[in-house]
Chain A
Amino acid sequence: MEDTASRDRPLLPQTSPVPTFDGERASLSLDAFGRLVLVLPGAGPLVGVFPVRCFPFSAPTRRISLCDPHGAEVACIEDLTRLPTPIRELIEGEMARREFLPVITRILEVSPGGEPSAWHVVTDRGRTRFLLASEDHVRRLGAEGLLISASDGVRFRIVDHKALDARSRRVLRRYL
């Protein structure tokens, strides 16, 4: 079964319907309004494109789609790290501006008792407080990571819960 499965490749379209952006034949720049302008070979400039990661957690630098202002995909990037540095920095800058995902570095206090619980944390973007509706909103990311969705929609990330201080780890224990 296994070898027959690999013999016949899936009947999927072999060429992707959107062009691959590799920074060579197409160009990407920033206009005066701070918008990204994409020029694909044989097409006019597209103003206001934005990058979207397909796998923001499991493979953040691979497979990044460039979408037009309406959200339709116009090009895709196979591997961000292989792009020329200036273009890569352009894209990374745009993504950094769009992606708000504070990383929790220390948990100061979590209200005792049941749900919802009030959290007081230190993040890479400063101190903040948020409300966690239930433990369902804590999601594991990989082996050590956690993604915490606050009730106001902001999401917080913990890169490695084992690397936190003892107190923070003790708080997190019931969510693991």
Chain B
Amino acid sequence: MNDLGDARNDAERTTRDEIAPHLLPGEHLLAIARLDLGPRLEFREGRVALTDRRLLSLPGLGAPGTLDAWSLSDVSGLSAGDRGGLGTLQVVSTLGLLGRWHYTLGRAREVTGLLDAWDSLRAGRKPTASSADVSRPAGEPEVPEALRREEAPRVGTLFRLLRFARPHAWWLVLGISLTLATTAAGLVPPLLTWPLVDDILSPYQEQVKIVREDPSIGEVEREARLDDLRRNRSEPFSAVPWYLLGMLGSALAAWGLGWAQGWVLARTSERISADLRNTTYAHVHSLSLDYFGAKRTGDLVSRISSDSDRICYFLSDTVTDFTADALMIVGTAFMLFYMDPILALATLCTFPLVAWFTYVTRTRLTEGFARGYRAWDEMTSILADTIPGVRVVKAFAQEHREVERFKEVNRRIVAANDRVNRVWTFFWPMIAMLNQVGLLVAWAFGAWRVYDQRITVGVLTAFLAYIARFYSRLESMTRMAGSTQRAAASAQRIFEVLDRQPSVPEPANPVHPGRVRGELQLKNIGFRFGNRRILEGLSLAIRPGEMVGVVGPTGAGKTTLLNLICRFYDVSDGAILLDGEDIRAFPTLEYRRNIGIVLQDPFLFYGTIAENIAYGRPEATRDEIIAAARAARAHEFILQLPDGYDSIVGERGQTLSGGERQRVSIARALLIDPRILILDEATSSVDTRTEIQIQEALDNLVRGRTTLAIAHRLSTLRNASRIVVLDQGGIVQSGSHDELLAAGGLYRSLYEAQNRRDIEGDPDPGGPAPVPGIA
């Protein structure tokens, strides 16, 4: 993050150097804006600079164009505006337009700096070097949003899992050692067949053959000699049980070791993936609200749950098998070369072919799996979207369309998987075939080597046992290419979440707020979401304990204002000060501990009422919980629930009406005793009678706290000492209710519109109690 800041300072320094040659002797540079669009809105670097004598316009380094300069005495105005992401800066004289430039909003801050310098110059003050940055605490990066994300190579991403493996290093070492031992035990049996054939079976068979085919002896004699062989030459056969015992022993050892290895690695991988889940979930909570706005719930849920599970499976099964297979392959190759290097070389000729073929297929598979996952995400997103919103779906009779939407996504999953399956199903019989060919070559070449008297049949037997093992291992290894790619894609998706930097950064040198007095100052704040300008140049000072109401039409920026005060987002321009300190200097958690929020549609978690009230202060006593509920006018309705304060609410719990939930949420805010209180349309979703009860509850809550209340119903603001009227991102009116009414304007028209509506009948937007699990 600091790299970004440094890079920007470097750029600024370079730009100053660019302009320096054009300055007159004694002329001082005050501000520069680097613009990035040309006159026909093509991307082109340009510079507009303000000095104490002139306004200069010149092309950026390497860009075409000429230098323009206007003496400040000719310039009567410098202004900027933006629309739809395009900013325009223009300079006018008393006679007309002098110049006009365009820029993208990434450069808006620099233009603001230029305008500030111009304003200061006009006012006769000496402008500071970059006035736009003054309000920012030291050490803070310029761009809060850090979306840097390098595109890591896919399988390489798996190595990033090592960070999570480190705490379990010893278990992993144990697991790998056991794998090694298992592999070694598996290599023993073929080795024992070699002496069995060459030293025992073949010589004996030779002798039998000689006797059988000796034409010089008669039938009786032949039988006697064979009998003699059976009886007297059985001495080498006494070693046979030992060889067999050795084979059995190594099989038993391989079984026991394999069991231990499997258990150790499964245990470890389960813990690694749990760590991965915990880390990802904790990281998700450190991200600011805008991330949740942009990321769909289903996608996030599937990343934390299924992707981590896929990695767990990969770690416990694939990695182990892969290691075992790789070791086995190296081991058998070693044995093959030890027995007969020429034969080994000849039989392994298909190996490079298999390796190359696997490599080519792998890349195709990766793309295919990634496409499949994206389709899968879309499907989970639809589920996460429509199941909670089922009331709306049913109300608008759109079940059919939702089913169609689901089918469509499902069709895409099938299509994506079909592609993968085509590659996959072709791939692996192909490997099997190549391996068969390899085996055939081994037989052919082996037979020739025996004929050539270079090797014995025993060697060939052992050799073929090894080569069969080699190819079966190779085959299972290539089969793992699939799950490896799957795991790599999953790891990538998890790291995408983990790599995301919170856009509300923690301060480098935090100031601890402790318990604040509650003096809020909004200094010329602006906020932009994407390229939409939502708030601009808004200033407001609120004394400790004062209640300020915020009214205005929808889209005026009321909720954004509250979000900025809660620091769910950071301001784009200006600063918010609490007790004279920029709120960005406080650790986010400590700052928010001073804030209580009551929202329009309060969210209750699955749990008892008591737990929900004590959400912000779990250590609260029962008496405190009851006192808060009483003050919030919630106590009596809670008593009427079947289990009192122990009743379960939230999803799958007891159904509460909007007003009841609202009062629980007021009790929740009361219990943390915040110095600053934010009310966002706290009474707008309930009927008039409930509103009165909530109003009483709110009166208890507001007392003695700095309160900022957004209200649709102006009656909610009867206790407000001041009301500000917001329109199009700025304050248009401010004063007491009576003053505003007398002044006319927007407030009066809002008031009159509301009175008219109230006379015509209470609209009662409360509606029926929500159905549990749906609301």
Contacts and interface: CB of A to CB of B under 8 A. Distances in A.
Interface of A: 1, 4-5, 7-13, 16-17, 52-59, 62-63, 65, 67, 71-73, 136, 139, 155
Given A4-B515, A52-B639, A10 B645 contact: no
B652 A54 contact: no
B474 to A, nearest CB: 44
Contact of B670 (A4, A10, A17, A71): A10
A58 B628 CA distance: 18
B627 interface: yes
B624 A12 contact: yes
A153 B705 CA distance: 44
Interface SS majority for chain B? helix
Contacts of A5: 515, 593, 617, 673
B590 A12 contact: no
**B512, B608, B636, B644 pick with most chain A CB within 10 angstroms:** B644
Given A12-B627, A54-B626, A73 B635 contact: yes
Given A13-B630, A16-B627, A73-B635, 19 more contacts: A4-B515, A8-B515, A11-B673, A11-B703, A12-B631, A12-B670, A13-B700, A53-B644, A54-B622, A54-B638, A54-B645, A55-B610, A55-B644, A55-B645, A55-B646, A58-B608, A58-B646, A63-B623, A72-B636
B643 interface: yes
Give the interface size class of chain B.
Answer: 35 or more
Nearest to B638: A54
Contacts of B648: 139
Contacts of B590: 1
Contacts of A65: 639
Contacts of A58: 608, 610, 645-646
Contacts of A4: 514-515
B671 interface: yes
A136 B610 contact: no
7 contacts: A11-B705, A12-B628, A52-B639, A54-B638, A56-B644, A57-B646, A63-B626
B643 A57 contact: yes
A59 B646 CA distance: 9
A71 B639 CA distance: 8
B640 interface: yes
Given A8-B515, A12-B624, A16-B627, A52 B652 contact: no
A136 B772 CA distance: 12
A10 B640 contact: no
B639 A59 contact: no
A71 B645 contact: no
B139 interface: no
A63 B635 CA distance: 12
A136 B652 contact: yes
Which 7 pairs, one residue from A and one from B, show the smallest C-beta to C-beta distance?
A4-B515, A10-B673, A12-B627, A57-B646, A54-B644, A52-B639, A4-B514
A47 to B, nearest CB: 19
Contacts of B636: 71-73
B336 to A, nearest CB: 53
Contacts of B623: 63
Contacts of A57: 643, 646
B85 interface: no
Contacts of A72: 636
A139 B611 CA distance: 15
A71 B630 CA distance: 15
Interface string B589-605: 01001000000000000
A10 B669 CA distance: 11
Given A4-B515, A56-B644, A16 B610 contact: no
A142 B635 CA distance: 23
Nearest to B593: A1
A11 B706 CA distance: 13
Contacts of A59: 622
B106 interface: no
Contacts of A71: 636, 639-640
Nearest to B705: A11
Contacts of B643: 56-57
B514 A1 contact: yes
